[in-house]
Amino acid sequence: MDFGKLFSKVVKTVKENIEVETKPASQPTAQPKPASRPTTPAFERERTALEWVAYFKEILATEFSQYSVRENVAVTDVAGYASDEFKLYKSRPTQAYKAEWGQPYTFVLEQAGSLKGVVMLGNGHSHDSNVKYLIARMYAKKMGIPYINFYTQMPNERDYVIGRIRKFL
């Protein structure tokens, strides 16, 4: 392509752009229709702590009927009074945490007299770093018991809860 043809194409394009920009305002330009947004379901009202316990209790009773379920079980009922103080942090090996300082397990699942798993309900992601929850989780781990935690600020839909408990058990 020679320079003259290229120059004439550039001039033509500039003229077209000038004509579009200088159109009278009386001629409205068609605006593209915005893409439709998917509707999000309205959030349920938040449940209270007692409503969460009742919700999980119902799921455990119907979907995991082969297990007996105990509620609000102290860590010492599961681990005993730990005279062997459990060292929780490797960075502070002299700091010891006793089982009686742990957060009680929300639910303990048992079958034929043996522990099969614990389910903990916690409010907020901070419960994961709360020392009471850490002690409870570490004692469950020490005893080889699956520790399943759920955050109560999340939706925790029934299928999700059932699937997650089955995965751990």
pLDDT tens by residue, 11-47 = 787 777 776 565 655 556 666 666 665 554 445 567 7
- C-alpha distance from residue 102 to each of 71, 109, 131, 143 (Å): 15, 18, 8, 14
Would you say the pTM of this structure is higher than 0.75?
Answer: no
- H helical segments located in the chain: 3-21, 49-63, 75-79, 131-142, 158-168
Residue 10 scores a pLDDT above 80: no
pLDDT at residue 17, as a whole number: 72
Helix 49-63 vs helix 158-168: angle between axes, to the nearest 10 degrees?
60
The 10 Å Cβ neighbour count of residue 21 is: 7
In 10 A of CB 125, how many CB atoms? 10
More confident residue, 10 or 125: 10
